Chains A and B, each alone.
Chain A
């Protein structure tokens, strides 16, 4: 008890010291996480605050951040679809098709690395620049137009006020730096630990039916190996949190392609190989979180598998066969395939159990929580 008191008094002293230099610096954001769930990593230079999160929510739904004025972050990250867009490959503001699909933003605060296949990207603030300013492909299409963004925000009564409130210490709070800080702060709040599976773990034995419990046991079995890549509290091995001592980062070739029998992937989607040029990185993509997986079809980085039963088939076979066309090949013979994608046999009942378990990972509150919805509908 004594130790705890000392810690608290130290915390208060620190808070007073901070307040003395920056009176309005608000750090009032309260995480609401179930017991045992660790806090996400928050960069020291972008602390959470309610005003910043609320500003970020407005920016997330702001179509003025695109060159056409018709696309916002929420165009490809739709709350009802767990912040994905239901497309195999997303479409940018100018109509360009992205090689890959929009990833879910649920629990992205815990992602060790961001996007499908990039070992470099580890902060949401930097990542937010890519959809806004990226040119290959064009997403929001604002490359070279940062002054237009700032001017439009300055001319808007809400934003002029909201930036001042969210960044009270800044002489000039309207900046691209603060746009991405607010966006990152909002996106960090999209956390989900209230699926039937989570409730079952917390002791609610009725949260999962018997078929889902059997499916869970299969999922975590050495026979199926699912959990090696889709493991941990966020069902991905690329997870981190405030107390983690090591960053876990994983990229895997799951045998989707084997073009020309030499391990090749389609040239616009070679995975980590695109950045490293190392042949062994061909087709290595991040294992996405499986939370809310039942509502985020289609599947894989390129949306090339339509349904969850077909995903199970893919892994049961240990790789996909494409019989003709430019991508023909047997993915199960891809020389770079992960050692954990080895194939397995499932009875009809086991298949149904596993699907029932994956459906238990959907947190309905994520799909409707007003805190993450379009402010226009408030």
Chain B
């Protein structure tokens, strides 16, 4: 559920801040038991949104400020876990490495969308997020950087750039995961009339702040800690 601080936010939010885009991939989803052990969630396959390795969440509905959006949305990741007492959730944002550099022209859902692939960079846009006020805006496209090899045979990307989400008070069935975009822009002045954008290039200094909010070390691309943009929230 997208939020801006305490408020829900959508493409059609009229008060101050509106969503312009929010789509991201989730993989490596685990629940944490009360005893502290991790249990992997088996993702259900879906013709549009999920394979057994990765899910695409899409919160923009193409209305209002989401001028480049699509009508379809997907706000739920569906999967199975053994019955148990769970009190936490962990997941990674992004596409797993083995799928990230496969031929995008032959990719199946949820990896077959032109808008989520970074053709000239190779690999996928792990996350597209944007917000706008009347006078200012911010957007970011997150993906792996500093890749080597060639598009048909990428050997490695030194900037993995896959954030880690970790919510230690998440109760499945009771809580939902909230995406707080205010956290993403917490260090960015959204009133100065200077639009800010970040497309994960290694030389883009404007990326340092949103990377920190995502728990990523901008220099190494590693997740140093959990992304502060994700938190548990009550079902509404």
**Contact between B199 and A136 (Cβ–Cβ < 8 Å)?**
yes
**Which chain B residue has the least Cβ–Cβ distance from A141?**
B68
A317 and B57 CA atoms in complex are apart in Å by: 55
Chain B contacts for A270, CB-based, 8 A: 203
Report whether A144 and B106 are in contact in the complex, using a CB–CB cutoff of 8 Å.
no
Contact string against B for A residues 106-128, beta-carbon threshold 8 Å, 1 for contact and 0 otherwise: 00000000010011111101110
Complex CA–CA separation, A280 to B120 (angstroms): 21
Contacts of A273 in B (CB 8 A): 203
- CB atoms of B105 and A180 under 8 A apart: yes
Q: Is the CB of A120 within 8 A of B203?
A: no
B152 in complex: contacting residue of A115, A126, A134, CB < 8 Å: A126
**Per-residue A-contact encoding for B148-159, CB less than 8 Å = 1, 0 else:** 111110100000
Say if the beta carbon of B119 comes within 8 Å of chain A: yes
B73-81, B110-118, B226-234: which lies at the interface: B110-118
Task: Name the residue of chain B whose CB is nearest to the CB of A175.
Answer: B105
The A-contacting residues of B in range 103-130, CB under 8 angstroms, are 104-106, 113-115, 117, 119-122
Contact yes or no, B120 A118, CB < 8 A? yes
- Please pick, from A126, A134, A277, the residue contacting B203 in the complex, using a CB distance under 8 A: A277
Q: State how many angstroms separate the Cβ of B221 from the closest Cβ of chain A.
A: 10
Q: Report the separation of the CA atoms of residues A119 and B105 in the bound assembly, to the nearest whole angstrom.
A: 20
Cβ–Cβ < 8 Å partners of B114 in chain A:
129, 132-133, 142-146, 176
Q: Point out the residues of chain A lying under 8 angstroms from B148, CB to CB.
A: 119
Which residues of A are found within 8 Å of B202, using beta-carbon distances? 275-277
Complex contact B68–A129 (CB within 8 A): no
Cα distance A120–B101 when bound, in Å?
12
Known A-B contacts A118-B120, A276-B146; A143 and B151 likewise in contact (beta carbons under 8 Å): no
B201 is an interface residue with CB less than 8 A from chain A:
yes
- With a cutoff of 8 Å between Cβ atoms, the chain A residues found around residue B152 in the complex are 122-123, 126
A130 interface residue per 8 A CB criterion: yes
Q: Is the CB of B68 within 8 A of A144?
A: yes
Q: Mark B61-102, 1 if CB is under 8 A from A, else 0.
A: 000000011100000000000000000000000000000000
A123 to B146, CA, bound (A): 19
Kindly supply a per-residue 1/0 record for chain A positions 269-307, scoring 1 wherever the CB is within 8 Å of any chain B CB and 0 otherwise.
010011111000000000000000000000000000000
A370 is an interface residue with CB less than 8 A from chain B = no
Judge whether A144 and B120 touch: CB under 8 Å. no
A116 to chain B, nearest CB (A): 11
Identity of the chain A residue whose Cβ is nearest the Cβ of B113 in the assembled complex: A144
Counting CB contacts under 8 A, is B44 at the interface? no
Q: Is A177 an interface residue (CB 8 A)?
A: yes
- CA–CA, A121 and B121, complex, Å: 8
Q: Is the CB of B68 within 8 A of A121?
A: no
Q: Are A129 and B122 in contact (CB under 8 A)?
A: no
Inter-chain contact B120/A115, CB cutoff 8 Å: yes
Size bin of chain B's contact surface: 20 to 34
Q: Say yes or no for B161: interface residue by CB 8 A criterion.
A: no
Interchain nearest-CB distance for A251 vs B (Å): 14
Contact A122 B150 (CB under 8 A): yes
Once the chains bind, are A275 and B119 in contact (CB under 8 Å)? no
- Whether the Cβ atoms of A129 and B119 lie closer than 8 Å is yes
Query: Which of A118, A121, A136, A275 counts the most chain B CB atoms within 10 A?
Result: A275
Q: Are A129 and B104 in contact (CB under 8 A)?
A: yes
- In the complex, the answer to whether A126 meets B151 with C-beta atoms within 8 Å is yes
Known: A129-B114, A180-B105. A134 touches B120 (CB 8 A): yes
Which residues 138-153 of B sit at the A interface, judged by CB distance below 8 A? 141, 145-152
Bound CA span A123–B154, Å: 13
**Nearest B-chain residue to A179, judged by Cβ:** B105
- A134 vs B125: C-alpha distance when bound (angstroms): 12
Contacts of A126 in B (CB 8 A): 104-105, 119, 151-152
Closest B residue to A178 by CB, please name it: B105
CB-CB under 8 A from A144, the residues of chain B are 68-70, 113-115
Chain A's closest residue to B105 (CB) is A177
The one of A120, A132, A180 in contact with B150, judged by C-beta atoms closer than 8 angstroms, is A120
Return chain B residues, CB-CB under 8 Å to A176: 105, 114
Report how far A117 CA is from B223 CA in the complex, Å. Answer: 29
Instruction: Given A133-B115, A143-B68, check contact A274 B151 (CB 8 Å).
Output: no
A276: chain B residues at CB < 8 Å are: 146, 202
**Using Cβ atoms and an 8 Å threshold, which residues of chain B touch A142?**
114
| B104, B146, B152, most chain A CB atoms within 10 A | B152
B199 CB contacts on chain A under 8 angstroms = 136
A120/B106 contact (C-beta < 8 A), A142-B114, A274-B201, A277-B203 known: no
- Contact flags A192-230 to B (C-beta < 8 A → 1, else 0): 000000000000000000000000000000000000000
Q: Point out the residues of chain A lying under 8 angstroms from B122, CB to CB.
A: 120
Asked if residues A130 and B120 are in contact (CB atoms below 8 Å), the reply is yes
A40 to chain B, nearest CB (A): 16
In the complex, which residues 13-67 of chain B have their Cβ closer than 8 Å to any Cβ of chain A? none
Q: List 26 A-B contacts (CB under 8 A).
A: A118-B120, A119-B150, A120-B122, A120-B149, A120-B150, A121-B120, A121-B151, A122-B151, A122-B152, A123-B151, A126-B104, A126-B105, A126-B119, A126-B152, A129-B114, A129-B117, A130-B120, A135-B115, A143-B114, A143-B115, A144-B68, A176-B105, A274-B203, A275-B202, A276-B146, A277-B146
> What 6 A-B pairs are tightest by C-beta distance, nearest first?
A277-B202, A144-B115, A129-B119, A133-B114, A177-B105, A122-B150
Further pairs besides A129-B117, A176-B114, A275-B201: 19, Cβ < 8 Å: A120-B121, A120-B150, A121-B120, A122-B152, A123-B151, A123-B152, A143-B68, A143-B114, A144-B115, A176-B105, A177-B105, A177-B106, A270-B203, A273-B203, A275-B146, A275-B147, A277-B145, A277-B146, A277-B202
